[in-house]
Amino acid sequence: MSNGRFITLACLVGIALVAASTFVTNEYYVFAAYFVLQYVVLATAWNILGGYVGYVNFGTTAFLAIGLYSAAALNKWLDLPIPVLILIAGLLCGAVGLAMGYLTIRLRGVYFTIATLALSVVVQTFITNWDYVGGSRGLYVMRPTEVPVFGSYVAYLFFLMTVLAVAAVAIARVIERSTFGFGLAAIRDDETAAAASGVPVLRLKLIAAAISGALMGMTGAPLPFYLTYVEPTSSFSLAYTVNSVAMPLVGGTTSWLGPVIGAILLGTMQQAMTVLISSSVNLLVVGVLLVIFVIAAPNGILGLLRSMGGKKTDPETNPLAAMLVTEKRSSQ
């Protein structure tokens, strides 16, 4: 399937989602769907650097928070429409991703990971000390005065998040099939051999880091307007980091489909568990699933499907399998 057709299909899915949301009367379902869509973006963004390149970011929360608080601060200062805030958050976090990458990516991969862990703490420190956004007390957010086309403000935000999710998945898919994506795979598989084949390793890693960071930041920007009250403890929740790592690893890291599967499965599971049991237990389950999958099913659900299907999932004999499971790697 060509990129153009894929994007069209993704847009159609997005439109269907938004349309469906306007008919749903119970706002909780819309909230749950927003939650899952958010994770589709975060998991996809994480995977661009984690799955495609092999650089592990444990600081998703930091990027999301930068996006969140920059939107909140800018909103307090100027009255900008949310899409503009989203774009600004994207640029800002893209720059942060670039900077983090530049400082650490020349070293062993693990140093990047350590730096991202520390980043979360540092960003939280800065935000907690920044009175303009309420410091540790939190901030009440006034929604911008623009008049949304949709019935309610929540519907408008849902629409924006759907757009973001469709965009993220489209970007991931386009990257996968592009020269850039093949370069990333080469780097992930063997960086030295990639360099010896002419791949500009540092440059490609930095681009991936920037894209990944930007998408994460963009996810954070609508949050202040959704919640109308932001404060550091929940904004810097470890849940964002754990989920953005677990979802691609559970779903499968080699293709755009993995993070989506992971986000839908784990996201829905968590929503159900929060309602049925409690919210801390559901995070524990995510952590346990992460460890189990990492040990027993390193290629995630996609990998399991591939190995269970045998001949049926052999791309050379089954075009459907080629499309779904080994989509990015088939040379049709």
Partner 1 sequence: MTTEARAVTADELILDARGITKRFGGFVALNNVDLAVRPGERVGLIGPNGSGKSTLTNCLCGALKTDGGSIAFAGRAIDDLSSYQRARLGLGRSFQLPRPFHSLTLLDNLRIPLVYAVNARGGAHLTEQQIRTRSSDLLGEFGLGGKLHRLPGDLTQVEMRKLELARAMASDPTLLVSDEALAGLSHSEVDEILALLLALNTRGVAVIFIEHIMRAVMAFSERLAVLVAGEKIADGTPKEVIADERVIGAYLGQ
Partner 2 sequence: MGQSAGLLLDSIVSGILVGGFYAAMAVGISIAFGMLGISNIAHPALILLGSFIAYVLNSQFGFDPILVGALATVPFYFLGTLLYTAYEFAFERRGTQLIRGLAFFFGLLFITEVGLQLIFGVDYRLVEAPYIGPSYNIGPVSLPVRMLIPFLASVLLLVGLQIFFARTFTGRAIMAVAQDKFALQLMGAAPVRIKRIAFGLSTATAAMAGAFLIILQPVEPSMGRDYIGRIFAICVLGGIGSLPGTFIAAVIVGVAESITATFYGPSWSPAIAFGFLLIALVVRPAGLFGRA
Nearer to partner 1 by Cβ, of 268 and 318: the residue is 318
Least gap, CB of 258 to partner 1 (angstroms): 13
Token match 């757009």: residue?
163
Which two tokens mark 60? 């998703």
Nearer to partner 1 by Cβ, of 43 and 185: the residue is 185
Angle, CA of 9, 37 and 309, to the nearest 5°: 60
Q: What backbone phi and psi angles, to 5 degrees, belong to 2?
A: -70, 165
CB 188 within 8 A of CB 49: no
Residue 144, Cβ neighbours under 10 Å: how many?
17
3-class state of residue 123 by DSSP: helix
Residue type, position 311, single letter: K
Answer with the entry of partner 1, partner 2, none that 79 interacts with (C-beta below 5 to 8 A by kind).
none
Task: Name the residue among 143, 149, 174 with its Cα closest to residue 18.
Answer: 149
DSSP assignment letter at 139: E
Least gap, CB of 27 to partner 1 (angstroms): 43
Answer with the entry of partner 1, partner 2, none that 115 interacts with (C-beta below 5 to 8 A by kind).
partner 2
Answer with the entry of partner 2, partner 1, none that 183 interacts with (C-beta below 5 to 8 A by kind).
partner 1
Q: What is the C-alpha separation between 90 and 73, in angstroms, rounded?
A: 15
CA-derived radius of gyration, the chain: 20
Q: Which of residues 196-255 bind partner 1 (CB under 8 A)?
A: 196-201, 254
Q: What track of x and - describes contact with partner 1 for positions 162 through 201 (by CB under 8 A)?
A: -----------------x--xx-xx-xxx-xxxxxxxxxx
Least gap, CB of 22 to partner 1 (angstroms): 42
Least gap, CB of 296 to partner 2 (angstroms): 8
Least gap, CB of 1 to partner 1 (angstroms): 16
Q: Which of residues 107-136 bind partner 1 (CB under 8 A)?
A: none
Angle between helices 60-77 and 82-104 (to 10 degrees): 140
Q: What is the C-alpha separation between 253 and 261, in angstroms, rounded?
A: 11
Name the residues that contact partner 2, by CB under 8 A: 50, 54, 56, 58, 103-104, 107, 109-111, 113-115, 117-122, 124-126, 128-129, 188, 238, 242, 245-246, 249, 253, 280-281, 283-284, 287-288, 290-291, 294-295, 298
Which two tokens mark 59? 């600081």
Answer with the entry of partner 1, partner 2, none that 146 interacts with (C-beta below 5 to 8 A by kind).
none
Q: What track of x and - describes contact with partner 1 for positions 56 through 85 (by CB under 8 A)?
A: ------------------------------
CB 303 within 8 A of CB 255: no
Least gap, CB of 245 to partner 2 (angstroms): 6
Angle between helices 109-128 and 60-77 (to 10 degrees): 30
Q: Is 298 one of the binding residues for partner 1 (CB under 8 A)?
A: no
CB 82 within 8 A of CB 144: yes
- Which residues of this protein are in contact with partner 1, per CB under 8 A? 179, 182-183, 185-186, 188-190, 192-201, 254, 315-316, 329-331
